[in-house]
């Protein structure tokens, strides 16, 4: 996850750095470090902030499941955890999904595929030239 995307989502959630730290169960120093680029944003934090953003943006609105959007064959669906747990609206959150016909080895590889998928693309922010505005309340 890019720093600008992280900051943009924090702003979209209407959270200060301190508020986001509390929400994610991490330290204020960790949030500072992610936003300054001193530390890489861990997969667990990326996953959690994307989920919170999804809840804010999509919430209970009706969204087609992934297998409908990408026209996933029935044989593949039956092997996929998103289908098994009826979680096609947030398949990007679940490890072990069979996206593009294969299970990814790790979170970074999965997110690379998911960022090209219409399911995750429907919630990702459109960032203006990579940088979100500075938060004076941070």
**Structure confidence by residue, pLDDT tens digits, 27-80:** 999 999 999 999 999 999 999 998 888 888 776 566 788 898 889 999 998 999
User: Looking at residues 9-36, what average pLDDT do you find?
Assistant: 94
Residues 93 and 105 in one domain: yes
Residues 121 and 66 in one domain: yes
Residues 50 and 76 in one domain: no
Q: What is the pLDDT of residue 44?
A: 92
Angle between helices 43-57 and 17-24 (to 10 degrees): 100
Query: Distance between CA atoms of 82 and 104, rounded to whole angstroms?
Result: 14
Residue span of the structural domain in which 44 resides = 1-57
Domain CATH code at residue 26 = 1.10.260.40
Residues 36 and 22 in one domain: yes
Q: What pTM, to 2 d.p., does this model score?
A: 0.72
Tens of pLDDT, residue by residue over 92-132, are: 888 888 887 888 888 888 888 888 888 888 777 564 443 43
Query: Distance between CA atoms of 86 and 7, rounded to whole angstroms?
Result: 31
Split into its structural domains, the chain has a count of: 2
């Amino acid at each position: 996850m890019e720093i600008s995307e992280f900051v943009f989502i924090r702003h979209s959630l209407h959270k200060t750095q301190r508020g986001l730290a509390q929400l994610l169960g991490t330290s204020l120093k960790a949030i500072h470090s992610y936003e300054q680029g001193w530390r890489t944003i861990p997969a667990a934090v990326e996953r959690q902030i994307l989920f919170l953003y999804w809840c804010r943006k999509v919430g209970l609105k009706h969204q087609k499941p992934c297998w409908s959007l990408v026209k996933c064959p029935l044989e593949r669906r039956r092997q996929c955890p998103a289908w098994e747990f009826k979680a096609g609206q947030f398949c990007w959150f679940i490890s072990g999904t069979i996206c593009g016909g294969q299970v990814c080895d790790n979170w970074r590889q999965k997110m690379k595929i998911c960022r090209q998928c219409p399911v995750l693309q429907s919630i990702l922010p459109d960032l203006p030239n990579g940088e979100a505005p500075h938060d004076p309340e941070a």
